[in-house]
Amino acid sequence: MTKVQVKDLTFEKSITSAEIDDAISGIAGRINKDYEGKNPLFLAILNGAFIFAADLLRKITIPCEISFVKYASYSGTLTTSKVKELIGVGEELKGRHIIVVEDIVDTGITMDKLLIDIREKNPESVKLACFCFKPEAFQKSFEIDYLGLTIPTEFIVGYGLDYDGYGRNLPEIYKLVK
């Protein structure tokens, strides 16, 4: 197993580039079909979802737009119960089809807050495209409409996911070695 060092922690390969590409192709295919003729606005969550959003958008064949927001609830390897809006929605959402693009949902605390904020702006529809989901950690009740991979509750880095800002640049996903 390939291992990498990120700051003071060691990680081993968990998800390959080929598995990542297959998951994104599946999501993109469904979105292309579901949103034909609708011109959705993709709303990507910074910082983690920027790589997933870029790869997903390259596979989207319908007319669309993209924008970015930044919410945070992590400190180191742990999630906090406090959600901070660092960069809010700048676009008019009323009457638009919104697809939120997120790298990972674990507890769901951050995404729940974001979805509430978006729905208050009266969009036509709101759907969630999420690359990784940790069902054992999930504490909320919203649905993930377009899901790439279901994974165990392990701390992971790579493919946009980080440990204190590091490791996002790894092309594959690595799990923490215990």
User: Catalytic positions, please?
Assistant: 106
Taking each helix axis from N to C end, the angle separating 17-34 and 50-58, rounded to the nearest 10 degrees, works out to 60
How far, in Å, CA of 174 to CA of 99, rounded?
27
How far, in Å, CA of 65 to CA of 83, rounded?
26
Exposed/middle/buried for 116, CB within 10 Å: 0-12, 13-18, 19+? exposed
Per the listing, tokens 């674990």 go with 106
How far, in Å, CA of 104 to CA of 122, rounded?
25
Return the amino acid letter for 69.
V
> 155 to each of 29, 31, 36, 99, how far by Cα in Å?
29, 28, 36, 26
Per the listing, tokens 């996002």 go with 168
Question: What count of residues does the chain have?
Answer: 178
